[in-house]
Chains A and B, each alone.
Chain A
Amino acid sequence: MIRARGDMPRSRAMAGAVTLAVRLPRLSREGAQAVGGALAALVLWELAARGLAGSYLLAGPVDVARYLQANSGLMGRALAITLENAALGFVAGNLAAVALALVVVLIPRSQPVVAGFALVVFCLPLVATGPILRVLYGPGPGPQITLAALAVYYTTFIPLMVGLRAAPASWFDLMRVYGRGAWTAFVQVRVMAALPYLLAGLQIAAPAAFLGAMVGEFTGAERGMGVLALRAMRGLDVEATWALATVAAVVAMLAYGALGWVARALAPARPEVLLAPPPATALSGRAGRALRGAGVAALTLVLMLALWWGVMEAFGLSRFFAKRPDDLWAFLVSAPTAAENRAILWEASAQTLTYVLPGYLAGLGLGAVLAMVLVLAPGLAGAVLPVAVALRSVPIVTTAPLIVLALGRGAAGTITIVAVMIFFPALVACLQGLRQAPGQVLDVMATYGAGRLTRLIHARLPAMLPAFFAAARMSVPAAVLAVTVAEWLATGTGLGNLMALTASTSNYNLLWSAVVLVALGSAAGYALVGAVERRVLARVAPEQLR
């Protein structure tokens, strides 16, 4: 205890002592749990590596450190290149996101079409757009930067769009009472209200940009982390694979953490639900809504086809590799071999579905279940959560080579990659949702002596659902990305493999067809989850649907 001396400004000294006394133990306790969790993970990793020594699966932290030390020059150069590409893509993608969000807010009617367009482009399989961009751009970092931008813009666009509209109506009334119009409201209210949402989006975008750049490097770059990772995996170089995955993971965590720090410094209030449910259409009645939805989808499709065709024509790209919509129409519908072509696509799609569905459901389900377990055992959560938050920021695909090493090139490995890719975001989202149950509701239940399980079921689960569905929706494109990368790296089946194969054999008709199929398929999956979400939320949490 500090005793106040006679000549000191007493109240200040006392206050200081009190805050110190109160804060230090709490901070150190949380910190200790986090450090404990991280240490436990490291020790488990090392033990597993020792246990599996000689099986060429796992390199422990000690081996990884040794490898990094021995190859620091090579790794440093590769990392610098990938970081540069990721940073450029990060900037470009987020600028695009801001532009799209502004269009939607300034012209509200454009929202369904712009959002639909943005979703389909986000669903383009990076595995295939990589090679196509490689042909379009020629050598150089263009494809990596573009892929990094494609990987980030959607996760910034959606929260930003929500944030720009998140302000309560009375803030706008305030502007109107003084006779001010939309512009003042935009500057004084919307921009400021959207800032925390933008920052939250940027935080998710930082690791995603690194992922995009690395996948871009998988597809035929000369230098960078992705090139090294591919080489190490093909050469069954266990230590290099683990070292690269570790570096990628650490970079992603650092980028995530750094942006989180910036966000907390700039805008202390974090948005509650980051990815709001898809907006309801204005028309009432089921038939009206379905009609309107179909109209919007058709309009989006027509605009996309026009844009696709227009860009190809404007840049005068050769029809040999830059296919137009009518080429695909011929390939899939009107050509004599169309039926065969379609059969190839269907077969690959069926294979992909058998991997992606179980992986998606398993990742999502395990994430939700573990989140509930952690709520029932809060002591455990303190140790697990920091590790989970850290791992969520890791673009799992960059560690796909590891899982291939560990589980082989069969279905198990691919399904695991999909599940792991989805598991951590789902776990963290569900935990955040579970913790969002209003304190008052929990207090009321406590006064009735309700146990933890009762509180979980009646207060926390309804609060978790919106976060769960937000994760479920965003997981659809993520699962498709994971499965296509895994198929391409590992199994040699499915759409991912088909795209890689056709890219290397210059069968551009089939490649473009697969790209369109995957993009439309995952956009449809996203829309399907959104529809289920609206149904369920309308029953259990109608206040979430404004």
Chain B
Amino acid sequence: MADQRAGRGPAITCAALAKTFGTGPAAVEAVAPLDLTFAAGELTALVGPSGCGKSTVLRMVAGLEAPSAGTVTLDGAAPADLQGEGALAMAFQDASLLPWRSVRGNVALALKLARKPVDLAAVDAMIARVGLAGFENARPAELSGGMRQRAAIARCLVTQPRVLLLDEPFGAVDELTRARLNTDLPALWQAQGTTALLVTHSVREAVALADRVVVFSSRPAQVVADLRVPDLLALDSAEGRTLMAEVTAALSQGWADDPGSGRHAAQ
């Protein structure tokens, strides 16, 4: 499996990466200097308390937010270079579909923006893949929250990106559909050797999907645990349960670090 993954996606290197919003007394330090490398072709799950800076890390990797200090490099290149090649894709926390375009129009737009030929058959196939067959002509307003998120995933995947950034992509999707997507979709990017970062609040999902789970502390984000997930781990095996318990323990440790949110950890 590892051989298959090697190749297309770049390794992502964050070197002393930091972000502070605002200046003076109102400054918010969202990400403390962070040194992390995400191996080429791997899927890494980022988990951490709400507001700890996960989205900010993702946005800096996508080149949407300029770091206050440090750098992000993707196989030595800057995020902007990959943007220009149409090699990046990001699923935003709110699906961010354009309301005046149908599902098909939204997915096809990604191909157009990435300067790739707009192949409607491929577009429809991708829509079917996320379980939205029959909704190709629906407007986003006619979809449920979870359906919108799936359409956004289809938009991300249709361009076959080399770097895939998913910010809580399944937040509003029901448990069953989520489980189905979790078994079905990863094959799509794994086969292409995409380097992927997935932000999620579900420990189960993180362990089920990822090759590696990085746990952040409360704001400013710092790494409290960095755990490998063995290949072909079964979640309900003893090993799987141990790993999930480790992630959960690290999460509550991250909570406890923050005096303001210690109560939650205690509950």
Task: Spell out A's residues near B (CB within 8 Å).
Answer: 168, 170-171, 173-180, 184, 188-189, 192, 195, 267, 269
Contacts and interface: CB of A to CB of B under 8 A. Distances in A.
B246 interface: no
A168 B95 CA distance: 12
Contact of A178 (B59, B86, B99, B141): B86
A180 B86 CA distance: 9
Contacts of B63: 176-177
B86 A168 contact: no
Contact of A189 (B64, B85, B98): B98
B85 A179 contact: yes
A269 B99 contact: yes
A179 B112 CA distance: 12
Contacts of B13: none
Contacts of A171: 96, 98
Contacts of A188: 98, 109, 113
Interface string B71-99: 00000000010011110111010101011
Contact of B94 (A170, A178, A179): A170
Contacts of B62: 173, 177
A82 B83 CA distance: 55
A192 B89 contact: no
Interface class of chain A by DSSP = helix
A177 B64 CA distance: 7
7 contacts: A171-B98, A173-B59, A178-B88, A178-B159, A184-B113, A188-B113, A269-B99
Nearest to B152: A174
Contact of A179 (B83, B90, B99, B141): B83
Contacts of A189: 98
Contacts of B32: none
B contact patch SS: loop
Contacts of A176: 63-64, 83
A179 B64 contact: no
A168 to B, nearest CB: 7
Contacts of B159: 178
B92 A173 contact: yes
Given A173-B64, A175-B113, A180-B113, A168 B84 contact: no
A179 B96 contact: no
A179 B98 contact: no
B96 A168 contact: yes
Interface of B: 59, 62-64, 80, 83-86, 88-90, 92, 94, 96, 98-100, 109-110, 113-114, 141, 159
Contacts of B86: 178-179
A189 B113 CA distance: 12
A177 B98 contact: no
Given A179-B83, A184-B113, 14 more contacts: A168-B94, A170-B96, A171-B98, A174-B90, A175-B113, A177-B62, A178-B83, A178-B86, A178-B113, A178-B114, A179-B85, A189-B98, A192-B98, A192-B100
Nearest to A167: B98
A179 B100 contact: no
Contacts of A170: 92, 94, 96
A272 to B, nearest CB: 14
Contacts of B109: 188
B47 to A, nearest CB: 22
B100 A174 contact: no
Contacts of B88: 177-179
B85 A177 contact: no
Contacts of B99: 269
For the complex of A and B, 10 pairs with smallest distance between CB atoms: A179-B83, A178-B113, A179-B84, A170-B96, A170-B92, A177-B90, A178-B114, A192-B100, A173-B64, A177-B88
Nearest to B59: A173
A409 to B, nearest CB: 53
Nearest to A189: B98
A180 B94 CA distance: 20
Nearest to B141: A269
A174 to B, nearest CB: 6
Contact of B92 (A174, A180, A195, A267): A174
B161 to A, nearest CB: 9
Given A180-B113, A184-B113, A173 B98 contact: no
